[in-house]
């Protein structure tokens, strides 16, 4: 049985091929056909606009506009927000042990930061940098 991730990767590759074929045959500066935009927005609803735009080589802003809202669903079942204990974010790692911060995105990319005993990290800045980092 094929996983959703594999199916999504196959659909992205197929659509990328269709877009590349269109680019080779289009009249100079002509807009991308509605059927290609429709396929791209369908994928972006499940995978997020940023990753789909990057993989397909299309404009993020144009794709986001076609989606409406923020365009970043992050995949089916992605939480709209994550609640955390704020006090735990700003206290040092226990003196006798280590702390750990783990960040991941919808594509499976993950980073784990292990803190030494008593070490402090600015989690808000870390999350902001993670969110804006090019992938």
Local confidence band at 77 (pLDDT 50, 70, 90 cut-offs): very low
Token pair 């940098």 in the structure block, residue: 129
**At residue 115, what are phi and psi to the nearest 5 degrees?**
-100, 140
What is the per-residue pLDDT for 125? 76
Inform me whether the pLDDT recorded for 119 exceeds 80. Answer: no
Inform me whether the pLDDT recorded for 86 exceeds 70. Answer: no
Domain ranges of the chain: 4-67, 86-132
Q: Which residues pair with 112 in a beta bridge?
A: 102
Inform me whether the pLDDT recorded for 94 exceeds 70. Answer: no
Inform me whether the pLDDT recorded for 131 exceeds 90. Answer: no
Count Cβ atoms within 10 A of the Cβ of residue 60 and give its class: 0-12 exposed, 13-18 middle, 19 or more buried.
middle
**pTM for the whole structure:** 0.50
């Amino acid at each position: 049985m094929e996983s959703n991730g594999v199916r999504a990767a196959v659909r992205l590759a197929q659509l990328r091929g269709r877009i590349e074929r269109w680019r080779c045959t289009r009249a100079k500066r002509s807009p991308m056909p509605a059927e290609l935009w429709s396929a791209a927005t369908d994928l972006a609803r499940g995978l997020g606009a940023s990753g789909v735009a990057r993989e397909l080589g299309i404009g993020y802003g144009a794709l986001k506009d076609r989606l409406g809202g923020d365009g970043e669903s992050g995949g089916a079942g992605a939480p709209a927000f994550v609640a955390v204990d704020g006090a735990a974010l700003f206290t040092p790692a226990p003196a006798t042990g280590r702390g750990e911060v783990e960040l991941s995105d919808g594509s499976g990319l993950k980073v784990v930061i292990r803190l030494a005993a008593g070490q402090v990290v600015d989690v808000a800045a870390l999350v902001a940098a993670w969110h804006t980092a090019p992938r």
